[in-house]
Amino acid sequence: MNLNLLAWNNIRGSAFRSLVVALSALLVASFAVSTTMIMRGAENSLRLALERLGADILVVPQGAEASAETALLMGVPAEMWMPQSNLEAIAAIPGVEKVSPQIYLTTLEDAACCSAPNMFLVVFDPATDFTITPWLKQNVGGELKLGEVVGGHYVFTPEGAENILIYGYFVTLVANMEPTGTGLDQTMFFTLETARDISRISFSRAVTPLVIPENQVSAIMVKVAEDAVPSEVAIDILQNVPNVTPIESPNMFQAYRKQMSGLLSTVLVVMGITWLLSFVLIGLVFSMAANERRREIGVLRALGATRGHVLRSLLAEAGILALVGGSSGVLLAALGIFIFRKTIVESVGVPFIFPSLPSLLLQIGAGVALTLVSVTLAALLPAYRISRMEPSSAMRE
């Protein structure tokens, strides 16, 4: 028997009160951790997507900025075209080190000739590409051959099949990229040579042929020289190349960042209200409990408990309940997010990647710590007041 065991016995002895406090702690912890996890997951997702794109500036046809970002972030296929001649025009701009074209395509939906329906396809030119090719060299050990594709993290070959069927053409999945939590995870990447072959075959084997307009590209990836300023290069592109929009890497996905920022403000307000209500509720419960137990506390004082003992015992109760409720809350939140992450992405409309183990542990630890501090603070005033009471007054009905 010791002071902590006494606190534990009091918790067991007042099941309903303990349940209310633990549930409040669970609410605070789960809400704090789930919102932090979603917001951080979305931030990380954007960061990884930018890293994966690997360009300082993405040039798209004027007016196609939103659909390009939606395609890259959320995997919603988009087709956009601009003259290939823009490539030379951009390459000629001072400060531009490398340029490489990309073509964005989509597989057919509900067609027997496509085993992966409505999938976003990114075609790149291995001769000039500086975004996917380095990854291929590092992870596949070379370049993609004709008919080979590399997939985002969640692209897979259908069960029982050896290849993926696109427009009646069999492609071989040679590798999957690391997850980003964005639409890039459901995107397939292949070379211009493969794309042209698919297009050729599709005319005889697909329900609808894959048409790649001649001398047209969807987007141009730009790498800026080390001594150049990306924003100045972007302005030059805007001024010298007609009907295009250059998007600087830090400004990419602005619409999503704004959406996230709005979401964050709402979440912070709701979280603040939840925290405040829980704080008041826990304070009230502890105040009532302290009042109910006045006589018991008076007896403990008579038996030799100091004011410090009483305070410590009551705060230990609060601490235990915070730990139990808080730990359950953060684990439930993490589990819930892990299970329902697809639904969350769809309903919230932002990309999301589940945190790495160290980051997850850090967020769980922070959530439990926040709950511990909140519950202890809420219990502090009633515990302090009762501990300062004269024993005889405490014992009086």
Partner 1 sequence: MIELIEVSKTYLLGKDQQVQAVKPTNLQIQSGEFVVITGRSGSGKTTLLNLIAGLTRPTSGSVLLDGHDLWSLSDKEQSLLRNQTVGFIFQFPSLLPSLRVLDNVVLPTIFEESGAVSNEKYARAKELLATVGLSDKLRAYPRQLSAGQQQRVVIARALLNQPKLLLADEPTSNLDEQTETEIMELFRQIHTTTGITMVMVTHTSQLVRYGTRAISMAMGQVLNSGD
| Of 25-33, 175-183, 348-356, 385-393: span binding partner 1 (CB under 8 A) | 385-393
292 binds partner 1 (CB under 8 A): no
CA-to-CA separations, 217 to 81, 86, 94, 357, 379, in angstroms, rounded: 5, 9, 22, 40, 64
Q: Does 98 bind partner 1 (CB under 8 A)?
A: no
SS (H, E, C) 347-374: HHCCCCCCCCHHHHHHHHHHHHHHHHHH
Torsion sign (Cα): 289, 294, 300, 304: positive
By CB under 8 A, is residue 6 in contact with partner 1?
A: yes
Nearer to partner 1, 12 or 342 (CB): 12
Residue from 66, 306, 338, 339 touching partner 1 (CB under 8 A): that is: 306
Q: Identify which of residues 175 and 324 has a Cβ nearer to partner 1 in the complex.
A: 324
Contact flag: residue 3 with partner 1 (CB under 8 A): yes
The answer to the question of residue 324 lying near partner 1 (CB under 8 A) is: no
Residue 231 to residue 43: CA distance in whole angstroms: 22
Residues 52-71 that bind partner 1 (CB under 8 A): none
Listed in sequence order, the DSSP H helices in the chain are: 3-13, 15-53, 65-74, 86-91, 133-139, 192-205, 230-240, 254-292, 294-302, 307-339, 341-348, 357-387, 391-395
Stretch that binds partner 1, among 89-97, 131-139, 173-181, 304-312 (CB under 8 A): 304-312
Examine residue 12 and tell whether it contacts partner 1 (CB under 8 A): yes
Say which residues have a Cβ less than 8 Å from residue 14's Cβ, sequence separation at least 6. Answer: 289
Query: 39 vs 290, which CB is nearer to partner 1?
Result: 290
CB nearer to partner 1: give 178 or 296.
296
Place of tokens 């702690």: 25
Q: Would you call 137 exposed, middle or buried from its count of C-beta atoms within 10 A (0-12, 13-18, 19+)?
A: exposed
Q: Is 109 an interacting residue with respect to partner 1 (CB under 8 A)?
A: no
309 binds partner 1 (CB under 8 A): yes
Q: Applying CB under 8 A, does 10 fall inside the site for partner 1? A: yes
299 binds partner 1 (CB under 8 A): yes
Is residue 19 near partner 1 by the rule CB under 8 A? no
Output 140-143 pairs: Cβ under 8 A, ≥24 positions apart.
140/174, 140/175, 143/191
16 lies in the binding site for partner 1 (CB under 8 A): no
Q: Which of 227, 303, 343, 358 binds partner 1 (CB under 8 A)?
A: 303
CA separation for the pair 180, 17 (Å, rounded): 44
384 contacts partner 1 (rule: CB under 8 A): no
Catalog residues that contact partner 1 under the rule CB under 8 A: 1-3, 6, 9-10, 12-13, 295-296, 298-309, 390-393, 395
